[in-house]
Structure 1
Amino acid sequence: MSEESLPSVPSTDEAQVSRLQELLRIAEPLVVADVARAEQLLREAQALAFRLGDARSEALALIFLSATSYFRSEYQTALDTLAKAQAAADLVQDDLLTARIENSRGNCAVALGHYGEAMEHYQTSLALAQARGDVEDRARVLNNVGLVHIDLGDYPLALEVFQEVRKLAQQSKSPHAYSSALINTVLCYYHVGSPEEALALASGYLPTIQELHIRQHEVVLRTWMLPCLIDTGEVAEAARQAEELLPLALEVDDRQYVVYVRMFAGQALLQLGQLGAAQEQLELALEDARRSNIRPQQRSVLLHLSRLHAARREWQQAYEHSQLYQALDRELHTEAVERKAKVLGAQIQVEILRREAEHERRRSTELAQANTALQAAQEALAYRATHDALTGLANRAHFQHEVERELQTLDQGLFGLLFIDLDRFKQVNDTLGHDVGDELLKEVGRRLTQVVRSSDLVARMGGDEFTVVLRQLRSAQDAERVAHKILNELIRPVEVGGHTLHVTGSIGVAVAPRDGRDVTTLQKNADIAMYRVKHEGKNGVQAFQPTMTEETAGRVDVERDLRGALARNEFVLHYQGQFDVQTRALVGYEALVRWQHPTRGLLSPGAFLGIAEDSKLIVPLGEWVLQEACRQAAAWGSNTRGLSISVNVSALQFEHPSFLPAVQKALELSGLDPHRLILELSESSVLSNAGAASQLFTHLKALGVRIALDDFGTGQSSVSMLRSLPIDILKIDRSFMHDQGAQKEPSEVFISVVINLAHGLNMLVTAEGVESSGQMALLGELGCDSIQGFLLARPLPLRDIEAHLGDCTATSPVD
């Protein structure tokens, strides 16, 4: 509402009345151009209006004052000011003032995450503006409805709304409303992955905003140009523009956008390799975000800081920032789910429209059209509050609500809860792209729905995690039977985007009331059971057992101790000899890590490697093992003795970007002949992503390193895969040294086939787990190249190995 629509207020002091109108006229545009100056003028206007008894002007001044608090992210202060404005507006019963107040309240409610309240305020504001024929206020409210669509991720519908707002703004000759709609259109283009289109629109309109001196809008528009520049490869230009924009953002004092500018500046500088400058901007952004309690921006800045420290190889700092990011991300996600669930529970969308349908002003055609747009936004909000946007399944909030309902009717029978986590799903996203990963998740959702009954509930919790609520079970075993059916359904090949994918899952089972009488306990216990499956090799089903809680606590203790074990030099290597089958000559060693725990003594790998994998600590641990093994092998004179050193590489370590540089570094620091280093990878880790493995193998072979395929025979390797990968050695898994029967004899047929296959592909063969002379004799007859096992050598500490290195030919077993 402009000051021209306000009738003059009778007063004996015409000069003061003129001063009041002048203050409001000047201050309104300054709200988005110079917040500090606007606040100063508005406080003077409010005091003057109060002295004059002009309630209408006082309400208007308070409305503008609330906007200055809003742009500083002081949302509660803004709401308090709006309450005072409504009290003043009530004295003059002006619906247009109330419409503006309701719209501003809606903005604050959205910023605070109270979507239900926001939609009520917008509905009221729109109805009042519609009834009074105020086109500018209609544009203002619909612009905010479009922002709700953006928040829901419904960008095409948001674009339609903003196009309508721009028409209304032109009709009402409101440059501020038009500017807001255009900026939000730029934001939509950025979010739908069209940065070029966003840049073109923003660059074309920027001079107009600058001519109008709408400085707050200029800051917002130029801020969103920064990530578009980064995404289109103009990183240096983004850094330059961020540096130029920062003083204006600080001057306008829009704290949220000061954080954004610093964050995008840090992101650009990080990509340019200017790590010091990037860290300075990101840390300032984090400080500003924390000071203003702008948590979504805190989350984004923490992620960039983690990447920055990783680029510097400052793994501890990178890990700490990553943990903070993940914790805040989970917290914000939970709050968003709860917030939308409340919207659904209140059924605000339907009830508002029903009440408005009974109102007389609903008869007008314009109001009906506006309400249609609002209804679309609210219906989308209702759906998003209970459903996963990608798969259409129930989401976390809906799942928890249904479990609570089931818990209230436990007297009617048992119900089960399945927690399903897809195995190695991250590899699909990393190698084939998120589009393929999304299609895979949709297919998994369809299969889960087909397996269970229509009365059961399938939900997606996020990422590659799904849950199933199984109602009215006859026995606890029924839940496990359904879980196995799901497992069998998942392993059927999936055709996605021209790729044939093989998916497995780890499923934890909890049954109420046996395993819990509340949502948190049941979900936690199913989660614990699922992690037991992960720990035992994935692709299985496990029902929760009470003892698992204690074991989980033990895992937490181990993980805690692991985090400091490297820094405290608690890890040691033991070495197991490898021998030529025919001559029994020592040909090399396999390095095996042990943990010299300060209170529990020497721990074998089985006690901690699984936990190291789950916590991602396997990556730095694996790098230490690689460096120490190479160093020790060089110290033994492996280059001159002809001895090799074999080092196991975990799947997680193999997939990590730092793996190839870590191998290069270990060789350079030790001076070891690369041909003496053998990297052992499990069959499953190579099979899961043969394309990426082949590319990495090529780089490793260029270094001169040899590659062994460990535990061969336990996975699903094909001959074509073996032919396509530059593998030097096949290691026959120890399980094939013994038949399934009571007699400990090798699986002769299988071993013979493997040896002939390997030799046909110019590979050597090493057999693991050799424990008897009969096994060794058979392996010699079949043409096996080398053996490893307790018959000739157990894993020994360094001091014992050095004692035997005087004689490289083993004529008797080494105990």
Structure 2
Amino acid sequence: MNPPLRHLDRAREALALMPQATELADLVAFRSIQWKLRRCEALIALEDCRLKDALDSARLGMRVAKVTNDYEGLAVMRTMLGECLLNLAEYDQALTELRKGERLAQAIGLTRVYSRATRLLAKLYEIQGDAHQALHHLKIHAELEAERHRASSQMCSRAVQDELLGEVQRHARQLHREQREQREELSSAQQQLDQARDELLHLAAHDPLTGLHNRSSFWWLAQHHLTANLAGDAPLTGLILADVNELRALNDLYGHAAGDAALQEIARRLLEAAAPQDIVGRLNGDEFVLLVTRPGDEETLRAITQELSVRLASPVKCGDVWVEAGVSIGYAAGPQDGHDIATLHRNAELALAAAKQTPHRPLARFDQELVAEEQARRQLRAELPQALRQGQFTLHYQAQYRLADQQLTGFESLIRWEHPLLGRVSPVQFIALAEQSGLILDLGTWILREACRQASEWSFPALNLSMAVNISPVQFSQPDFAELVQRVLEECGLPGSCLTLEVTEGLVQRNLEASAATSRRLRALGVRVALDDFGSGHSSLNVLNLFPLDILKIDRVFMADLLPGHPDFARARQLMSAMVTLAHTLGLQVVAEGVESLSQLGVLEELGCNGAQGYALAQPSAAPDVAFRLPALASAPSSETALP
């Protein structure tokens, strides 16, 4: 029959005879032969490494044994099925089948099958890393095999047992070595995991650029300190905010690497000023924070902030140059200004906002008046949309003159808000609020349209005059801004040559390439572009070189010293002369703002400045006043017909 052929290494012949034997067994309904044939098929398939075929044969054989209630067949085929599953790495199912086969074989006294099942279980437990169970089943297997061989030969029995025991010992030693290596690997992995965890915890709690506490870490530490120390007669605790006002300009002028270096230098100075028990953090890109927790009083805190202000005001190195970063400081003190970090931070932010409004002394302490001012700002911000809908905004116009012949060249439109309760609100107050709220787009469009409409109504083309309109950075950065200007000009019937758009250096420096592209599109419409407030910020020759423009408007701050008899007159005159010469070299017209005396006009004319505007020439006036005086203004020198 097939098994003898298989044992004679003639598995192929045995496999070829299988179909005939199976057919014959089915014909005579010899069930005990059928499951044995399936077992032989499974054994041959295992030897040929056809694991799937072996599994199928084992399952068929087990079904036959179940149908006939053949317990021997069930024990044999369950063990066979478990072996197939073990070879297929189906360890959970293999364990189930091998345990069932083991118990059944033990119960009915099938020592050979019981021995085979225990050996396979030992192998399975060894794979799963359960050394105890592996050794247990190997011992059972050894005992069973010894019993089998003892029945056939007493002499061979001891040798077999010794061999099996040695195998068990070798397995035990191997398992011991593997376990020791595994423990060493686990210990090394644990050390690496602890190190990685510490690094991740540090990264999660600290700013990667400066190494200071990040916002969430600082917030937690500060609140923990306040909770523990601001009860009863607690010592004074100060929260100091420091904001880098010119970070964007530094990045645009010198690159982000230089800006990062400046931030790192500011962080270093903060750490130098801090005591060991103080907490220093970076809340966002340009805002730093210091929680002062050292012993002291209000005077101590004031001295700390003043010292810090001096430290941060010193120039920082950006690349190869030293520049002033423009750091503003606001601070609040607990417990009087707040018992929790959220309240202290909010109040310090109010102080910081106040400090930013005083550039020559950028340091402020929180007080209750700031709360009232903030509420007033919020109220104004909330009223802006309604004010625009109800027509509370108007334009005033300030005349601009050519110095060579003192002839009127145009007007600059200036927005005014006539509040029904507060009266006139300064543009310094509401323009920033409009930018924060996003209303600046609608407001800017209204200003542009109204200024162009007025210029058309006053026949600027015939009078060869130009209307100047200040443009918000938010509005100028819109991708379709040039198209908006073109539509407004077409709606008003005004040629582009009668419109001048004024932009600031800060606006241009935010995105020089995009700003230059917008300027080129505007100039293609005939619109002139003026760089307003030149010299008041981080003036860059790169802006004048790459940004297409027509007019350079010199900031009014340079006019204060340009008075004969002033101690700094000579220096101011040289500086003005240099700016005029630079502009003319680049082919630009020069207009001076804030001219308030005839002596200043004389100096500007002597230096070759092209135009001027200011109270010495004309004050901003409402549209009806300008319309009444316009015929005389357009035909006479400014000194004869200047508006009051």
Give TM-score scaled by structure 2 length: 0.61
Task: Please state how far the C-alpha of 1:644 moved relative to its aligned partner.
Answer: 0.5
Alpha-carbon separation, structure 1, partners of 2:534 and 2:258: 29
Alpha-carbon separation, structure 2, partners of 1:711 and 1:431: 18
Alpha-carbon separation, structure 2, partners of 1:570 and 1:134: 85
Task: Please state how far the C-alpha of 1:552 moved relative to its aligned partner.
Answer: 0.8
Partner of residue 546, structure 1: 368
Partner of residue 442, structure 2: 620
Partner of residue 67, structure 2: none
Alpha-carbon separation, structure 1, partners of 2:317 and 2:513: 18
Task: Please state how far the C-alpha of 1:728 moved relative to its aligned partner.
Answer: 1.9
Partner of residue 35, structure 1: none
Task: Please state how far the C-alpha of 1:659 moved relative to its aligned partner.
Answer: 3.5
1:533-565 residue CA offsets vs partner (Å, 9 max, x unmatched): 334459933222331111111111111111333
Alpha-carbon separation, structure 2, partners of 1:463 and 1:378: 26
> Closer, same or farther in 2 for the Cα pair 1:439/1:781, shift >3 Å?
closer
1:646-691 residue CA offsets vs partner (Å, 9 max, x unmatched): 1112334334445434333333333322222112123444456555
8 A contact 2:206–2:217 mirrored in 1? yes
Partner of residue 623, structure 2: 798
Q: Which amino acid aligns with 1:809?
A: S
Q: Which amino acid aligns with 1:773?
A: L
Q: Which secondary structure state, in structure 2, belongs to the residue aligned with residue 516 of structure 1?
A: coil
State whether structure 2 residue 560 is matched by structure 1 residue 734. Answer: no
Alpha-carbon separation, structure 2, partners of 1:133 and 1:435: 58
Q: Which secondary structure state, in structure 2, belongs to the residue aligned with residue 806 of structure 1?
A: helix
Q: Which amino acid aligns with 1:639?
A: P
Q: Which secondary structure state, in structure 1, belongs to the residue aligned with residue 414 of structure 2?
A: strand
State whether structure 2 residue 631 is matched by structure 1 residue 812. Answer: no
Partner of residue 213, structure 2: 394
Partner of residue 347, structure 2: 525
Task: Please state how far the C-alpha of 1:725 moved relative to its aligned partner.
Answer: 3.6
Q: Which secondary structure state, in structure 1, belongs to the residue aligned with residue 631 of structure 2?
A: coil
Partner of residue 290, structure 2: 468
Q: 1:644 aligns with which of 462, 466, 491?
A: 466
Q: What does residue range 239-318 of structure 1 map to in structure 2 within 5 Å? A: none
Give TM-score scaled by structure 1 length: 0.49
Q: What does residue range 544-693 of structure 1 map to in structure 2 within 5 Å? A: 544-687=366-509, 690=512, 692-693=514-515
8 A contact 1:678–1:708 mirrored in 2? yes
Partner of residue 187, structure 1: none
> Closer, same or farther in 2 for the Cα pair 1:689/1:493, shift >3 Å?
farther
> Closer, same or farther in 2 for the Cα pair 1:613/1:425, shift >3 Å?
farther
Q: What does residue range 38-117 of structure 1 map to in structure 2 within 5 Å? A: none
Partner of residue 493, structure 1: 317
8 A contact 1:451–1:485 mirrored in 2? no
Alpha-carbon separation, structure 1, partners of 2:392 and 2:512: 35
> Closer, same or farther in 2 for the Cα pair 1:133/1:522, shift >3 Å?
farther
1:578-627 residue CA offsets vs partner (Å, 9 max, x unmatched): 12224332210100011132332332312312322344433332232122
Partner of residue 138, structure 2: none
Alpha-carbon separation, structure 2, partners of 1:134 and 1:399: 50
8 A contact 2:262–2:317 mirrored in 1? no
Alpha-carbon separation, structure 2, partners of 1:386 and 1:522: 21
> Closer, same or farther in 2 for the Cα pair 1:522/1:814, shift >3 Å?
same
Stretches of structure 1 that go unaligned for 5 or more consecutive residues are 1-131, 136-362
8 A contact 2:395–2:413 mirrored in 1? yes
% identity of equivalent residues: 38
> Closer, same or farther in 2 for the Cα pair 1:781/1:644, shift >3 Å?
same
Aligned residues: 458
1:51-84 residue CA offsets vs partner (Å, 9 max, x unmatched): xxxxxxxxxxxxxxxxxxxxxxxxxxxxxxxxxx
8 A contact 1:584–1:809 mirrored in 2? no
8 A contact 1:423–1:538 mirrored in 2? no
Stretches of structure 2 that go unaligned for 5 or more consecutive residues are 1-124, 129-181
Partner of residue 6, structure 1: none
Q: 1:701 aligns with which of 523, 529, 532?
A: 523
**Over aligned residues, Cα RMSD in angstroms?**
4.0
Q: Which secondary structure state, in structure 1, belongs to the residue aligned with residue 641 of structure 2?
A: coil
8 A contact 1:675–1:706 mirrored in 2? yes
Alpha-carbon separation, structure 1, partners of 2:492 and 2:580: 33
8 A contact 1:529–1:542 mirrored in 2? yes
Q: What does residue range 154-233 of structure 1 map to in structure 2 within 5 Å? A: none
Q: Which amino acid aligns with 1:387?
A: H
1:732-756 residue CA offsets vs partner (Å, 9 max, x unmatched): 3333333399978974443333333
> Closer, same or farther in 2 for the Cα pair 1:428/1:700, shift >3 Å?
farther
1:669-727 residue CA offsets vs partner (Å, 9 max, x unmatched): 33322222112123444456555544443333333221222223323425564344433
Partner of residue 87, structure 1: none
8 A contact 2:253–2:509 mirrored in 1? no
Q: Which secondary structure state, in structure 1, belongs to the residue aligned with residue 216 of structure 2?
A: helix
1:743-782 residue CA offsets vs partner (Å, 9 max, x unmatched): 7897444333333332333222222223333333333333
8 A contact 1:618–1:653 mirrored in 2? yes
Bigger CA radius of gyration: 2
- Structure of greater relative contact order (alpha carbons < 8 Å, 6+ residues apart): 2
- Of 592-601 and 535-544, deviating more is 535-544
